[in-house]
């Protein structure tokens, strides 16, 4: 029996930039929930590499074939945004033990703030468990190979940024 109201999940993060680890989690979420909203945290880092609009455009481009994947930016309290979107689930990815403590703390705080909102953790394919946006930026800046770790469009945008930086 299908549920009468669509089950909407929110996948929050900074996605600066989107990695194949994120893509893996979004695809898993899209298979489970009626809709998954990739919610980009606005202004967390003072100087993100990619602007909010660039990050939105990248994720929309990667998921243009997925009807039930939406992309938005949000600011303020995550639980308020989620309730406003009629979401009942928060999706988070778990890479390793190192993610666990922070994620556990956040999940319980969010439950305290909004008891009806459930946090669901998903593990990516093991080949993506070591990827983070921070590491991608670091490796790319130092000239390392990132092909296969991020969607091709992200690699293109990183190269374009590097070129404009060199010219400046």
Ligand X SMILES: Nc1ncnc2c1ncn2[C@@H]1O[C@H](COP(=O)(O)OP(=O)(O)OP(=O)(O)O)[C@@H](O)[C@H]1O
Answer for which of 74, 92, 140, 151 binds ligand X (CB under 6 A) is 92
Closer CB to ligand X, 31 or 166, in the complex: 31
127 binds ligand X (CB under 6 A): no
Question: Angle at which helices 152-167 and 52-62 pack, to 10 degrees?
Answer: 150
52 binds ligand X (CB under 6 A): no
Catalytic option among 31, 46, 165, 167: 46
Answer for which of 8, 59, 89, 93 binds ligand X (CB under 6 A) is 93
Q: Is 40 helix (H, G, I), strand (E, B) or coil?
A: strand
134 binds ligand X (CB under 6 A): yes
Phi, psi (5° rounding) for residue 72?
-145, 165
Give the pair of three-digit tokens for residue 79.
């639980």
Min. distance of Cβ 128 from ligand X in angstroms? 4
Phi, psi (5° rounding) for residue 156?
-60, -45
Q: How far, CA to CA in Å, does 96 sit from each of 122, 124, 132, 148?
A: 11, 10, 11, 20
Catalytic positions: 22, 46, 95, 133
Give me the residues that bind ligand X (CB under 6 A), please: 13-16, 19, 21-22, 25, 92-93, 95, 99, 124, 128, 131-134
């Amino acid at each position: 029996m299908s549920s009468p109201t669509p089950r909407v999940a929110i996948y929050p993060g900074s996605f600066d930039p989107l990695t194949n680890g994120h893509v893996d989690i979004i695809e898993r979420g899209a298979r489970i929930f009626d809709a998954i909203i990739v919610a980009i945290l606005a202004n967390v880092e003072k100087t993100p590499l990619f602007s909010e609009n660039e990050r939105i455009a990248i994720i929309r481009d990667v998921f243009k074939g997925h009807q039930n994947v939406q992309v938005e930016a949000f600011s303020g309290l995550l639980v308020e945004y989620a309730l406003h979107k009629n979401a009942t689930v928060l999706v988070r990815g778990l890479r390793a033990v190192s993610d666990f403590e922070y994620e556990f703390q956040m999940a319980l705080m969010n439950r305290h703030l909004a008891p009806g909102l459930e946090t669901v953790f998903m593990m990516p394919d093991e080949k993506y468990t070591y990827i983070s946006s921070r590491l991608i930026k670091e490796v790319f800046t130092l000239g390392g190979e990132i092909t296969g770790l991020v969607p091709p469009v992200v690699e293109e945008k990183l190269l374009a940024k590097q070129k404009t930086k060199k010219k400046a």
